[in-house]
Amino acid sequence: MLARSLQQAGYATGHFGKWHMGGQRNVADAPAITAYGFDASLTNFEGMGPKLLPLVLKPGQEKPGRIWGDAERLGAGFRWMLRSKITGGFVDEAIPFIRKARASKKPFYINLWPDDVHGPFWPPVDKWADGRRGLYHSVLQEMDRQFGKLFDLIRGDDALRDNTLVLICSDNGPARGAGSAGPFRGFKTHLYEGGVRSSLIAWAPGMLKKKGHVDRETVFSAVDLVPTLLALTGTAAPEGTKYDGEVLPDALLGEGGSRKAPIFFRRPPDRDSFYGDTDLPDLAIREGSWKLLCEYDGSDPELYDLSRDRGEQESLAGKHPEIVARLSKKLIAWHRSMPPDNGAAYVLKPKKKK
């Protein structure tokens, strides 16, 4: 909806990178990426439209192998490229798109979504490393290098430098054994902070008043991005649209001002962690500094004050039953208002414990 709204407002819109909304796997008849409001697209093996497909090469191998080759059947054109260079392929597609918009005096919006840091990790052969974390760091370093051309383009153009906002974020916390969650509990697939909290980096040389500023207090959710970016660009939301997120331009530009409404989280109730963990909470709500986690029916509550216990080590559910009751009521009401996740029965019933 963001891309479509900006496109209708006169923006050039492009998507370059992972899509993950139809394509390959078990969904081969989804709409093309351009049907969602993008003028141009280039994706990888999980997307409908022109794509870059990954070749993989390890030390000692003479010829690269192919993975996810059945994505060829989706048509729309494809090129095979070493996985370690695919981010550069997306950047090389995005740069002329930006230049064309610039020459046409059109504002632009692009998604540039690499998936190098999603396992399995395939760094360049000359940067191969031992162990999962070593491979992850090598991939991350190479991805940063390939992004350099894009940042150089923006730095070197006065108009782009003064009026371009670049946001860098992740959709979840680190996978165990690869990245690090630092002081936070949990990993990817967990609803603890280590699984759902991630850094948001805003880079805009001509727009940000504070340089090198680090803010560990402001709470900004992914659902706040769309209404906030529409506000920053002066773009009207579609008539009758009500967003889950809040309009927080000051927060996004480093001036503070956290969201006021609760943030809700849900994970499929039959999905155990990748790491062998079971009996993980399936619902969570954060309101202010309080965070509640529980099962689909509200059982097994855990309550944490993140202002004092950001590592979620000491549950205060027994000490504050009134807060548990208040947050549980909001969380269960939100959960039941949502489409069923993995079957209608799971909306009202908890998963069976092992």
Average pLDDT over residues 170-177: 90
**pLDDT at residue 307 greater than cutoff 70:** yes
Q: Where residue 86 falls among pLDDT bands split at 50, 70, 90?
A: very high
Cα 282 from chain centre: 19
Average pLDDT over residues 304-318: 98
Q: What angle do CA 338, 344, 349 make, to 5 degrees?
A: 95
Predicted confidence at residue 314, as pLDDT, reads 98
The structure tokens listed for 145 are: 């290098």
**pLDDT at residue 142 greater than cutoff 50:** yes
**pLDDT at residue 72 greater than cutoff 70:** yes
Average pLDDT over residues 31-50: 92
CB-based contacts of 90, cutoff 8 Å, min separation 6: 16, 17, 42, 52, 112, 113, 114
Which comes out higher in pLDDT, residue 70 or 339? 339
Q: What is the mean pLDDT of the chain?
A: 91
Q: Where residue 46 falls among pLDDT bands split at 50, 70, 90?
A: confident
Contact 147, 94 (CB under 8 A): no
Complete DSSP assignment for 160-227: HHHH--EEEE-SS-PPTTTS--TTS---TT-SSHHHH---EEEE-TTT-SSSS---SS----GGGHHH
Predicted confidence at residue 273, as pLDDT, reads 65
Predicted confidence at residue 354, as pLDDT, reads 47
The model's pLDDT over 214-228, given as tens digits with 9 standing for 90+, comes to 998 899 999 999 999
CA pair distance 160, 163, nearest whole angstrom: 5
The model's pLDDT over 240-285, given as tens digits with 9 standing for 90+, comes to 999 999 999 999 898 888 889 999 999 887 666 666 777 889 999 9
What percent of the chain lies above the pLDDT cut of 90?
A: 71
**pLDDT at residue 121 greater than cutoff 70:** yes
Q: Which helix (H) or strand (E) holds 95?
A: helix 86-103
If you search the block for the tokens 């967990």, which residue do you land on? 190
Average pLDDT over residues 144-157: 96
Report all structural domains of the chain as residue ranges with CATH numbers, in order of start.
2-252 (3.40.720.10), 263-348 (3.30.1120.10)
pTM of the model: 0.91
Q: Which helix (H) or strand (E) holds 293?
A: strand 290-294
Lowest-pLDDT range, 20-29, 41-50, 139-148, 278-287? 20-29
Predicted confidence at residue 21, as pLDDT, reads 84
